[in-house]
Structure 1
Amino acid sequence: MLESARSEEELEAEQAFLAEARVALARMYQEVEARDVPLIGGEDNDERFTNEANERAKRMRTQALLDLPEVPLFFGRLDYEAGAIEDIDRIYIGRRHVHDGNGTPLVIDWRARVSVPFYRATRSDRQRVMLRRRYGFSDVAELTGFEDEPMIGSGYADQADAFLRNEIERPRTGPMRDIVATIQPEQDDLVRAPLHPSVCVQGAPGTGKTAVGLHRVAYLLYTERERLSRGGVVIVGPNRSFLSYIRKVLPALGEVDVRQITIDELINQPAAASDDSEAARLKGDARMARVLRRALWSAVGTPTTGILYSKGSYRYRVHDYELADIVSALRESTRYAPGRNALAQRIAHAVLVQMEQRGESPDDRTQNAVARSKPVRAVLDTVWPRVVPEQVLWRLFSDAQFLAQAADEFTADERAALLWPKAPRSWKSAKWSGADTILLDELDDLIERQAGSLGHLVLDEAQDLSAMQLRALGRRCRTGSATVLGDLAQATTPWAAGSWDRVLDHLEKSDAIVAELDRGFRVPDQIIDFAARLLPQIAPTLGVPRGVRTVADALSIVSTDEPSFTDTLVAACKTALAGEGSVALIAADDQISPLYDVLAAAGLHPALLGATEDEMDTERLVCVPASLAKGLEFDAVIVAEPAHIVAAEPRGLHRLYVVLTRAVSSLQIVHTTPLPSLLS
C-alpha cells in the first residue's frame, strides 16, 4: 500500500471525488439503458439489419459503461500550468471517460491526446505539467493513497520507479490485469502507433508485450472505431487457457466488442486426427503453398477435341486449339472456380461471335444458354472439373506418385513423412489433423478467394505459428492491419516460421514496423539473468534482456533425491502459499497430473490448468503443464525437474526458457535429475 504524500484530509477529498465519479458513471449507464432504440418499420433486409445494428450498438454501449467494482475509475492526475488547457487546470485520468451530466469531464479517457503527458512528461520536457499524481488502490478498488511528482521547483524526487515497483509487486490472483496506470514511454510509443503500417513487437519475458498489444487494441478502437467496425478486431492467442488469462483486460478498459479466439477457432475447420511432429512441421512449411497450387491446377487438362454446338439447323464449332488457348490464358489469370466459370463463358463467347458472323443478334441470355449447354459442360467436366479442397489433399497424401510430381522441392524422406501410412478409402472418409485444416483453408482460397477482411488482427505468441498458419491469418486481414507479438527465444513449435521478416512476409505485412522491448518490468533481474543462459543456444541473434527490478531471494535452486522429491515440492508450495498472491507449480506435461494428485492429497487445494477456463479464478495454487505456461504470470513459481521439460519435446530448451520466466516475485527450482549444462 502506498503511503499518502499529503494530509488525511486531502486523501478523503480524493476518495470523495472517486465516489462522485462512480455516481456519475452509474447515471451515464442508466441514461443509455433507459434510452429507446428507434426502430424502422418494414420487413426488408436493410431495415431489419439497421434495427439489429442499433440494438447491438446500445448493448455494446451499456456494457462499456458498466462499472466494474474491482477496477478503479481513475489512476492518475495531471495539474497543468494556467492556460495550458482551456478552462481546465487539472484532469483526472482513467480507463474511460466520465462526465457530470452537464458536459464537464470528471475523468478523462487515458487514450485522449490530453492524457499523453501522464506517460511522457519528464522534468526536462514537462509539457506544461506542474505535477503528476499517481494513486494506489486496494484489490477492491478502494483508494488507499497517492504519490506526487512535482515537475518544477526544488525537492523533486522521481517517484515513478517506486510506484511502478509497487504496482508490479502488488499480489495478484486470477486473470491478467491491465497496465494502463504504469505504461512506460517505450510501451506508449507502440500503444499509440497509427493503425497503418502494422506493428511487430519482439518482447523479452516480462516486457509487457501482451499488455502492449491489448492496450493498442483499446487505443485503436478509440481513435479508429468507425473504420475498424466495418471489419472488426480479432485477437488470436495460442490456446484457451491463455485467452482466459487475458479476457478481462479489454472489458476493464471499456472495450467489450473484440473477439478473442485461437487460430483453430478462426479457421473454423474441425480437426479429428493428429500428426507426428515431423509431418506437422512439413505441413506447416512455406513450400506447401507451391505444392498445393500445383496439386490443384494439375486437375486442369489440355483439350484434345473441339466442341460442336447446334442451334436449329446451324452448327458452330470451336476447335481444340482455340479451347487450348482459352484454357492457357485463364490458368495464368484466375482462381480455380472463377476460371471454370470463365471458361464456359469464353467458349460461349466464341460461339456467339460465329452467330454474329451469320447475321444473328444473340444477347446475354443466348450466351448463358450456350455456357450451360451439354457440349460446353462436357468440356468443363473433362478439362476443368469441379473439385473441393478435401479431394486434392486426400490424393496428395494418398498417392505417392502424385505427391512426387507436385512436391519436387521436398526430399524423398520428407514426402514419405507426408504420406498417410494407411490412406482412407476416399476423401469423404478422411480424418483431418489441425495442420491439414490449414492446408484445406489454403486450397479453399486457391479455388475461390475468401471474401472480406478484418480491420485489425492481433497475433500473440506469433513466433510459434507456421508459415502456412500465417498465410491463413494474412488472408483474413488482406486490407487491414496487424499487431504481431512474440519472442523468438520462446519459439517452441517444430514448425515455427523463423525470423520476424519471414513471419511478416507470410502475413503479407512486410512493411510492418519491427520494435524490440528488452526491459523486463515483470520478471526480476536475477531470474531473467538465469534464464538468459539459454539464449546463446536457443536464440543467438537476440540480445540479453535486463530486468528493472531486483527482488531479495528471487531465485533458489534445490537439488534433492527421488524419495524426497514430492515432499520438497509440497513444502515449497506451502511456503509460497504462506505469502500473498498467485502460486504455480510448473512441470512437464506428463508429470503434472501426478503432481496435482500429490498436492491435493496434501490438502493444498490446487487447480489444474486446462481442466476448465476459470482455473486461475478459483484457487491461488495452480498446476500448470509446461506446454500451457506461455504468456502467463504468477507471483511465485515452483518448477519441477527442468531436465524432464527439456527432454519432453524437440525444442525443450525453448520451452524451459518460457517456464523459467513466469515468476513476478520468486522462482524455486526443484530437481533430482541434473540441470541442463547451460544452467549448471
Structure 2
Amino acid sequence: MSTPPDSAMSVPDPSDDPLSRERAHLTHSRAALRSMREDVESLDIRDVTANWVNAEVLSRQIEERVKALADLSHTPLFFGRLDYLHSPGADQAEGAEGERFYIGRRHVHDADGDPMVIDWRAPVSQPFYRASKKNPLDIALRRRFGYTAGDLTAYEDEHLSDPAEAAATSKLLQQEIERPRVGPMRDIVATIQPEQDEIVRSGLGGSVCVQGGPGTGKTAVGLHRVAYLLYAHRDRLARTGTLVIGPNASFLHYIEQVLPALGELEVKQATVDDLVAHVEVRGRDEAAAAVVKGDARMAEVLRRAVRSHVTMPVEPVMVVRGSRRWRVPAYELEVIVRELLDRDIRYGAAREALPQRIAHAVLVQMERSGEAPDDRVQDAVARNPAVKAAVKSLWPPVEPAKLVLRLLSDADFLATHAEGVLTEHEQKTILWSRPVRSVKSAKWAAADAVLIDEATDLVQRTHSLGHVVLDEAQDLSPMQYRAVGRRCTTGSATVLGDLAQGTTPWATRSWEEALTHLGKGDAVVEELTAGFRVPTDVITYASRLLPHIAPGLTPVASVRENPGFFEVRPATADTADAEVVAACEELLRNEGSVGLIAADARVPLLAEALAAAGLPYLGPGEETTLTTRLTLVPASLAKGLEYDYVVLDEPRAVVDGEPDERTGLRRLYVSLTRAVSGLIVTHAAPLPPQLSQDQSES
C-alpha cells in the first residue's frame, strides 16, 4: 500500500501532488457538507405551516435531516474515486470525455448543486464494487483512499482499462478488512465485495436468504441492503416502515451505529421477544415443551381453538322497528355463519361482518314488503339490541391470552383441538402442572408469548412492514418464523444466518423449510463463503466440524493474508487450569481484547483460577478498559461476540454441556470462531473425535 511514484516524489508545488489535491477535495467536501447542514438549520418554517401539528412534524423532519448531515470526524467522507472513460448514460462516442466521481457514505454537493461526493448506493457508484479487469464497466481508473484517524494519508490506483497493467490485490482493501475490530460494529461500504454487492442491491420486491459462515459479513450485508433499499425506495418505505430483528439486546446494541453512520436514522430494531410481548415473560420451559410449542402444528391447534367459539344458531332473531317485526329464522342465520366460516377470514373481521349480514337479511324482507330501506337503515338494524345479542351468542369475542391460557391448563380443551395434530405425549408435555387462575398470575414462557401472538393474528390481522431484516435466523422455531412473517406479509425480507451455528433444540434444519414458515417460500437463497473476520488457520480448524453439524455447507475460505495465530495445547488434569491462565497472560501481552471461552460448568472454576493469579476479568457485554481486557465467557453466551484473541478451554466439556452431541458440536463451532487474530485451544480431556482427526497438535 503506497501512493504512486509521482506522489512519493518531493515536489514543492502542492498542486502537483496528487495526495495534496485529494486532501484539498476532502477539505472542500467537508466545507460543502457543513454548508448543506447550515442551510437546513437556517430554515424558517413560521410562515409555511398551517397549524402546530404541521409545524411539529416539519420541525422533527428538519432535526432528522440535520442529524443525517452530521460530519463524523473519524469517518471518511469518501473512500474511493471512479474515473469513467465516458460520461455515464452518454452515447460513449469515441473521444467523449469521461467524468470523475468521489464515492462516499452520503451525497455532498457544492453551492451550485454540483456533486462533490456521490452516495455509495447511487447507480453511478456501482462499478466501484463490481468493476474488474475482465469487465471494467467503462472505468478507466479506480482509486481507493487510506485514512488514519480521519486524515487522508494514502491512495492506491487500479487502471482497469489498461491491459498492460496486471491485476493486483489491493493492499488498502486488505488492510481495511484486517483492521482490528473493537467497539460497535462498523459499516463496510469501503470493502463491499462483488458477491455481497449483488445481494445489497437486490430489489425490494423479492426476499433474500443469506447463508454465511462466521466472518463472512452476512450481518453487514443485511444492514447495507436496508440502507440501499431506503435510498432506492425511500417514499414507499417511509410509508410502510423497516425493521431489523436481532437475537438479543446486546446484539442490537452492537450493530446500532451502522445505519446512522450511513445517514439512515429511522430504521427500528427489535428482538423476536419484543415483537410478541403481549404478556410478561417470567417463566421458562423445559426444552421438550419449548420444542412442541414452537412447532408449526401449534398454528392449527390455535386456529381450531379460536373457531370453536363460534356456535350454530338454534333460535331466530326478532328485530322490532316501530310497529313492524322482522324475523330471521335460525336456518338462515346458520347459512350466514357458515359462509363466514368458509371464507376463513380473521375471527374479528368476521365478527364485525356478522351484524351487517343479519341486517342485510332483514332489509331483503323489508324490500319484499314494499319498503325502500337505505344504508342508514341497515346500519341501524345492525346496531339493534336483538342483533347485538345474537352476535354475542353466535360469535363471541376471543381474548388471545385467555385462549392460550385455557389450552395450556385445560387438558380436555387441548385434547379436543389437538386431536390428530399433537400426540397424547406432546399434549402432556406442554400442559402446565398446576392450575392457573388468570392471565396476570401465569408464569408465561417465551414460547407462550409466541402462541399468544399467533392467536392475536387469528383474531385481528398484524400490521405489515415494507421490509424486515431477520438476523441469526437459524435459532428460530417455526412459530417464531411465523411471527416474523406476519410483520412482512405485504413486504419483503432479508434473512441472515448460518445453519452450522444453530444451537437451540428447534434450530433450523434447512432454509427452504424456514422460508416456508416465514411465508417467503419464493425467496432466493444466497451463500457467502469468503471469510473476512476469522483467520485462515482458525477457520480451517473449525471447519472440520462442518460435515458433522451441517453436511452440504461450503466451508468458509478466509481471504485474510495473515493466517493468524493458532495453537492447540494439551495439558494434564493437574495443570489444566494453570495452562489456561498462562495462555491468557501470554495473549494479554498483545494489544487488543482477549476472550476466555469455556463450558458453562467450567466458568466458576476458571474464575477462581484467574482471581488466584491476579488476572482481572469482565463478564460478557461489559466493555473492556485499558487495565481489563480479558473477558470470561460461558460458551452458551459466545454467539455474536468477537475478540482479538481467544483462549478456548476444554472443547470436550463444551460439547458435553449440551443436551445432544450435534448441538454440542455446533456450540463448539461457534466458540472456535470468535477470534479475529489468534486462538489457543487448551485441553486435558481428549478432544472430540470430529475435531482431532488428522490433527497435528503443537
The match for 2:444 is 432
Q: Contact (CA 8 Å) 2:499, 2:508: kept in 1 or not?
A: no
The match for 2:684 is 672
**1:423 to partner: Cα distance:** 2.3
Match for 1:331 among 333, 337, 341? 341
Write the distance in 2 (CA, Å) between the matches of 1:161 and 1:82.
25
Aligned AA (2:452): L
Aligned AA (1:262): T
Q: Deviations over 1:420-444 (max 9, x none)?
A: 1112023453232211111111111
How large is the RMSD of aligned CA atoms in angstroms? 2.6
Q: Relative to structure 1, is the Cα distance of residues 308 and 552 closer, same or farther in structure 2, using a 3 angstrom cutoff? A: closer
Q: Contact (CA 8 Å) 2:245, 2:468: kept in 1 or not?
A: yes
The match for 1:516 is 527
Match for 2:552 among 513, 523, 541? 541
Q: How many residues align?
A: 671
The match for 1:394 is 405
Written as runs of structure 1 = structure 2, the 5 A alignment for 1:4-23 is 4-6=3-5, 7-8=7-8, 9-23=17-31
Written as runs of structure 1 = structure 2, the 5 A alignment for 1:127-146 is 127-138=137-148, 140-146=149-155
Q: Relative to structure 1, is the Cα distance of residues 187 and 615 closer, same or farther in structure 2, using a 3 angstrom cutoff? A: same
Written as runs of structure 1 = structure 2, the 5 A alignment for 1:243-258 is 243-258=252-267
Written as runs of structure 1 = structure 2, the 5 A alignment for 1:133-532 is 133-138=143-148, 140-153=149-162, 156-269=165-278, 270-333=280-343, 334-408=345-419, 409-451=421-463, 453-532=464-543
Write the distance in 1 (CA, Å) between the matches of 2:666 and 2:27.
48
Q: Relative to structure 1, is the Cα distance of residues 11 and 41 closer, same or farther in structure 2, using a 3 angstrom cutoff? A: closer
Written as runs of structure 1 = structure 2, the 5 A alignment for 1:586-597 is 586-592=597-603, 595=606
Q: Describe the SS at the equivalent of 1:483.
A: strand
Q: Relative to structure 1, is the Cα distance of residues 356 and 395 closer, same or farther in structure 2, using a 3 angstrom cutoff? A: same
Q: Deviations over 1:493-533 (max 9, x none)?
A: 12234311122222222222111111222222322221122
Write the distance in 2 (CA, Å) between the matches of 1:448 and 1:82.
56
Q: Deviations over 1:465-487 (max 9, x none)?
A: 11111111111112111111111
Q: Describe the SS at the equivalent of 1:393.
A: helix
Write the distance in 2 (CA, Å) between the matches of 1:260 and 1:617.
31
Higher normalized contact order (CA 8 Å, seq sep 6+, divided by chain length): 1
More divergent stretch after superposition (258-267 vs 86-95) = 86-95
The match for 1:108 is 118
The match for 1:648 is 657
Q: Describe the SS at the equivalent of 2:82.
A: strand
Q: Contact (CA 8 Å) 1:582, 1:636: kept in 2 or not?
A: yes
Aligned AA (2:454): E
The match for 1:71 is 75
**Which TM-score applies when normalising by structure 2?**
0.90
Write the distance in 1 (CA, Å) between the matches of 2:608 and 2:113.
58
Q: Unaligned stretches of 5+ in structure 1?
A: none
The match for 2:695 is none
Write the distance in 1 (CA, Å) between the matches of 2:371 and 2:162.
94
Q: Describe the SS at the equivalent of 1:382.
A: helix
Q: Describe the SS at the equivalent of 2:143.
A: strand
**1:154 to partner: Cα distance:** 7.2
Q: Relative to structure 1, is the Cα distance of residues 618 and 488 closer, same or farther in structure 2, using a 3 angstrom cutoff? A: farther
Write the distance in 2 (CA, Å) between the matches of 1:320 and 1:83.
76
Q: Unaligned stretches of 5+ in structure 2?
A: 9-16, 91-95, 693-698
Write the distance in 1 (CA, Å) between the matches of 2:129 and 2:470.
25
Q: Relative to structure 1, is the Cα distance of residues 364 and 616 closer, same or farther in structure 2, using a 3 angstrom cutoff? A: farther
Write the distance in 2 (CA, Å) between the matches of 1:245 and 1:598.
30
Aligned AA (1:492): T
The match for 2:671 is 659
Q: Contact (CA 8 Å) 1:24, 1:101: kept in 2 or not?
A: yes
**1:594 to partner: Cα distance:** 6.1
The match for 1:583 is 594
Write the distance in 1 (CA, Å) between the matches of 2:202 and 2:625.
32
Q: Deviations over 1:267-318 (max 9, x none)?
A: 3333222211111111111111111000111111222222333445544332
Match for 1:33 among 18, 38, 41? 41
More divergent stretch after superposition (98-107 vs 272-281) = 98-107
Q: Relative to structure 1, is the Cα distance of residues 120 and 562 closer, same or farther in structure 2, using a 3 angstrom cutoff? A: same
Q: Contact (CA 8 Å) 1:39, 1:51: kept in 2 or not?
A: no
Identity across the alignment (%): 53
**1:405 to partner: Cα distance:** 1.6
Write the distance in 2 (CA, Å) between the matches of 1:210 and 1:639.
24
Q: Describe the SS at the equivalent of 1:92.
A: strand
Write the distance in 2 (CA, Å) between the matches of 1:629 and 1:153.
48
The match for 1:53 is 57
Written as runs of structure 1 = structure 2, the 5 A alignment for 1:79-94 is 79-81=83-85, 89-94=99-104
Q: Contact (CA 8 Å) 2:470, 2:494: kept in 1 or not?
A: yes
The match for 1:122 is 132
Q: Contact (CA 8 Å) 1:528, 1:545: kept in 2 or not?
A: yes
**1:590 to partner: Cα distance:** 4.8
Write the distance in 2 (CA, Å) between the matches of 1:366 and 1:185.
65
**Which TM-score applies when normalising by structure 1?**
0.92
The match for 2:11 is none
Aligned AA (2:41): E
**1:130 to partner: Cα distance:** 2.4
**1:201 to partner: Cα distance:** 0.9
**1:157 to partner: Cα distance:** 4.3
Q: Contact (CA 8 Å) 1:241, 1:609: kept in 2 or not?
A: no
Q: Relative to structure 1, is the Cα distance of residues 355 and 78 closer, same or farther in structure 2, using a 3 angstrom cutoff? A: closer
> Does the alignment pair 1:573 with 2:584?
yes
Aligned AA (2:401): E
**1:228 to partner: Cα distance:** 1.0
Write the distance in 2 (CA, Å) between the matches of 1:231 and 1:616.
42
Q: Contact (CA 8 Å) 1:228, 1:456: kept in 2 or not?
A: yes
More divergent stretch after superposition (31-40 vs 635-644) = 31-40
More divergent stretch after superposition (561-570 vs 275-284) = 561-570
Q: Describe the SS at the equivalent of 1:607.
A: coil
Q: Deviations over 1:372-405 (max 9, x none)?
A: 3443333333322211001211111111122112
Q: Relative to structure 1, is the Cα distance of residues 144 and 383 closer, same or farther in structure 2, using a 3 angstrom cutoff? A: same
Q: Contact (CA 8 Å) 2:49, 2:55: kept in 1 or not?
A: no
Write the distance in 1 (CA, Å) between the matches of 2:47 and 2:456.
39
Q: Contact (CA 8 Å) 2:216, 2:530: kept in 1 or not?
A: yes
Q: Deviations over 1:585-641 (max 9, x none)?
A: 223345446645754675555432245xx6699964433333333333332222222
Q: Contact (CA 8 Å) 1:570, 1:602: kept in 2 or not?
A: yes
**1:572 to partner: Cα distance:** 2.2
Q: Relative to structure 1, is the Cα distance of residues 21 and 539 closer, same or farther in structure 2, using a 3 angstrom cutoff? A: same
**1:198 to partner: Cα distance:** 1.2
Q: Describe the SS at the equivalent of 1:207.
A: coil
Q: Relative to structure 1, is the Cα distance of residues 231 and 621 closer, same or farther in structure 2, using a 3 angstrom cutoff? A: farther
Write the distance in 1 (CA, Å) between the matches of 2:323 and 2:110.
85
Write the distance in 2 (CA, Å) between the matches of 1:392 and 1:382.
17
Q: Relative to structure 1, is the Cα distance of residues 88 and 55 closer, same or farther in structure 2, using a 3 angstrom cutoff? A: farther
More divergent stretch after superposition (284-293 vs 310-319) = 310-319
Aligned AA (1:17): H
Q: Describe the SS at the equivalent of 1:556.
A: strand
Write the distance in 2 (CA, Å) between the matches of 1:294 and 1:486.
33
**1:38 to partner: Cα distance:** 5.3
